[in-house]
């Protein structure tokens, strides 16, 4: 059965044309030209301070002449200008930027830095306004670079995303820059590039450097006949290459006005009775932007249509993957809920879920093992995806996601540790067997969340149902029990070393208790920790006193459960 499909490029274009930000952006460019006709005194102007804030970049005369080439990030770093290095990731450690755009950016770096700091500060207000950054020709290229730089300083979980609207802007970088930007799942939606088939400027760098420049963001391609929106970089690049206008008088204000009237007043007519609804809509788009006439498509155009169909099909598959990903996340929540039940049920039997799982004496333990594997597989992929993102996003990903990962790590890593020691492991953290996902989740948490000087009231109140903050706590307990055996049977030197390490562990435990960082479950009658404590008291030199000894002797762990220690 054939599914009826169509491309949304025409509908998106009509929505864009009738939206205020696009027309506000062009009005700002017109005002910038009046304020500074040659854009020599100031590369940009704040046309409107709020609701929305609009920044317009001008085009200095001669700024494109002889500067169509690319400048590598390594060359910029040699010149002590590494302000775009944050875009790099493991896959793309470097990229190149357009010479004209980066030269203009460098020429007014201090002024741009002040503007960035001002916009970042304004974004923190209770009612931050939308920021529109715009520019025409090479001014649009600089506007694109500035928007990328601004995004690096914004906390997008709270601030509004800026919108960069360019008109007839040349492309700003190579395929490595494109890939770096596309790694940011939300950033690419901040860029709208409007290009007329009457304007030769956007195609300028491409024709003189074929194969080097690559686009990113949404492109509104337009002609006298109509317009359409595109997001696939390869399709956009091919259509820009096919635009070969020699017209030097391209007025975007008139183009936008005419197309807005068409969007509001006219209905696009299908040029032919295509049985394939997707192909019919794609042909209509190509006619709207002036790539295709009313004649039968040539072999070259038919090939383009086929590639566009593949792209649209790919988008449908991606949407299905997102839907499947949401379902997968819901499955993970169910597995975590089961582990929470398992944890509570274990407590009723006076044994923590770590020791119960380690002993493997119940059918439910088998189910836990299956859930553990599925959770670890899911988070292994999720962590790898975040790790591969650009540096800045890898460091400042969603805090909500990080807390979910932290809860998972604290719940599931003890089960992984139980498997390790049950199978004869000796030193979980030192022999390289600790999964990378746990290491990274722990490392990222320390970079994002600052440690508390003293435990908060809420932390004390919820300690009864908490997990150990150190997800490797049970590994330390296992190794402490091994040290107790070494004190009994080892050489004199081994005994001295073991006793010192045991005292260090004891001090760490007491420090964690003072910070309410340990679950009260460690004091359950059948727990490995209580077994260690008995073994430790049997090998430590007497008489002996310590803070933990007094804590255990006075049964302060009863008060600890209530948050009253």
From the list 167, 154, 213, 163, the residue with the least C-alpha distance to 193 is: 167
What parts of the chain have a pLDDT lower than 50? 1-4, 6, 266-275, 391-396
CA angle 514, 517, 523 (to 5 degrees): 85
Q: Which residues of 528-543 are buried (b: 16+ CB within 10 A; e: fewer)?
A: bbbebbebbeebbeee
Q: What pLDDT, on a 0 to 100 scale, did the predictor assign at position 557?
A: 83
How much is the pLDDT for 246? 62
Q: 144 with 177: CB under 8 angstroms? A: no
Tokens standing for 52?
A: 């929305």
Residue of 430, 428, 539, 546 lying closest to 494 (CA atoms): 539
Q: Token match 């493997």: residue?
A: 360
Determine the pLDDT at residue 306: 78
**pLDDT at position 339:** 94
Query: In the prediction, which pLDDT does 449 show?
Result: 77
Best CA proximity match to 203, nearest among 170, 167, 174, 235:
170
pTM, rounded to two decimals:
0.61
Number of residues that make up the chain: 565
Helix (H) or strand (E) holding 24: helix 20-35
CA dist 202 and 152 (Å) reads: 26
pLDDT at 6: 46
Q: What is the model's pLDDT at position 276?
A: 59
Contact present, 327 and 370 (Cβ < 8 Å): no
**pLDDT, position 389:** 64
Q: How far apart are CA 223 and CA 322, in angstroms?
A: 34
| φ, ψ (nearest 5 deg) of residue 499 | -65, -45
* Structural domains of the chain, with CATH: 9-267 (3.40.50), 331-561 (no CATH)
Query: Which pLDDT score is estimated for 223?
Result: 85
The answer for residues whose C-beta is within 8 angstroms of residue 402's C-beta and 6 or more apart is 441, 444, 445, 448
pLDDT of residue 4: 43
Q: State the pLDDT at residue 478.
A: 96
Give me the pLDDT at residue 395, please. Answer: 47
């Amino acid at each position: 059965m054939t599914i009826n499909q169509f491309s949304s490029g025409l509908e998106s274009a009509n929505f864009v044309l009738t939206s205020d930000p696009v027309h506000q952006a062009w009005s700002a460019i017109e005002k910038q030209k009046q304020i500074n006709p040659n854009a020599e005194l100031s590369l940009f102007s704040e046309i409107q301070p709020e609701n929305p804030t609009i920044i317009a970049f001008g085009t200095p005369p001669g700024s494109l002449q002889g500067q169509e080439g690319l400048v590598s990030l390594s060359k910029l770093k040699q010149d002590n200008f590494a302000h775009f290095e944050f875009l790099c990731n493991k896959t793309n450690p470097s990229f190149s930027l357009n010479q004209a755009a980066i030269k203009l950016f460098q020429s007014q770096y201090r002024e741009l830095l002040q503007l960035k700091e001002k916009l970042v500060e304004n974004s923190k207000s209770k009612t931050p306004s939308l920021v529109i950054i715009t520019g025409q020709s090479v001014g649009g290229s600089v506007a694109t670079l500035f928007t990328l730089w601004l995004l690096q300083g914004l906390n997008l979980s709270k601030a509004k995303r800026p919108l960069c609207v360019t008109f007839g802007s040349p492309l700003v970088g190579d395929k490595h820059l494109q890939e770096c930007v596309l790694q940011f799942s939300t950033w690419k939606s901040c860029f709208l590039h409007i290009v007329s088939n009457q304007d030769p400027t956007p195609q300028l760098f491409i024709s003189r450097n074929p194969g080097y420049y690559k686009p990113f963001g949404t492109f509104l391609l337009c002609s006298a006949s109509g317009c359409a929106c595109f997001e696939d970089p390869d399709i956009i690049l091919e259509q820009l290459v096919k635009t070969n206008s020699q017209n030097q008088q391209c007025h975007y204000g008139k183009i936008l006005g005419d197309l807005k009237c068409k969007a509001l007043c006219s209905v696009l007519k299908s040029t032919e009775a295509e049985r394939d609804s997707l192909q019919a809509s794609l042909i209509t788009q190509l006619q709207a932007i002036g790539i295709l006439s009313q004649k039968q498509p040539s072999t070259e155009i038919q090939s383009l249509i086929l590639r566009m169909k593949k792209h649209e099909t790919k988008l449908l598959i991606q949407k299905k993957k997102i839907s499947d990903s949401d379902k997968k996340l819901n499955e993970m929540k169910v597995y975590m809920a089961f582990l929470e039940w398992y944890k509570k049920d274990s407590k009723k039997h006076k044994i923590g879920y770590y020791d119960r799982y380690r002993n493997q004496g119940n059918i439910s333990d088998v189910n836990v093992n299956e859930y553990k594997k599925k959770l670890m597989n899911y988070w292994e992929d999720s962590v790898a995806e975040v790790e591969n993102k650009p540096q800045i996003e890898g460091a400042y990903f969603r805090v909500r996601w990080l807390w979910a990962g932290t809860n998972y790590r604290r719940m599931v890593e003890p089960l992984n540790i139980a498997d390790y020691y049950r199978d004869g492991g000796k030193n979980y953290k030192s022999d390289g067997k600790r999964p990378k996902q746990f290491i990274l989740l722990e490392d990222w948490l320390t970079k994002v969340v600052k440690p508390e000087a003293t435990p908060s009231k809420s932390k004390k109140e919820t300690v009864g149902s908490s997990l150990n903050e150190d997800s490797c706590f049970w590994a330390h307990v296992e190794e402490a029990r091994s040290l107790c055996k070494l004190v009994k049977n080892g050489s004199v030197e081994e005994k001295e070393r073991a006793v010192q390490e045991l005292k260090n562990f004891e001090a760490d435990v007491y420090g964690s208790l003072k910070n309410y960082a340990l679950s009260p479950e460690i004091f359950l009658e059948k727990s490995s920790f209580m077994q260690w404590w008995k073994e430790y008291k049997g090998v430590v030199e007497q008489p002996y006193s310590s803070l933990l000894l007094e804590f255990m002797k006075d049964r302060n762990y009863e008060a600890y459960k209530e948050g009253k220690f």
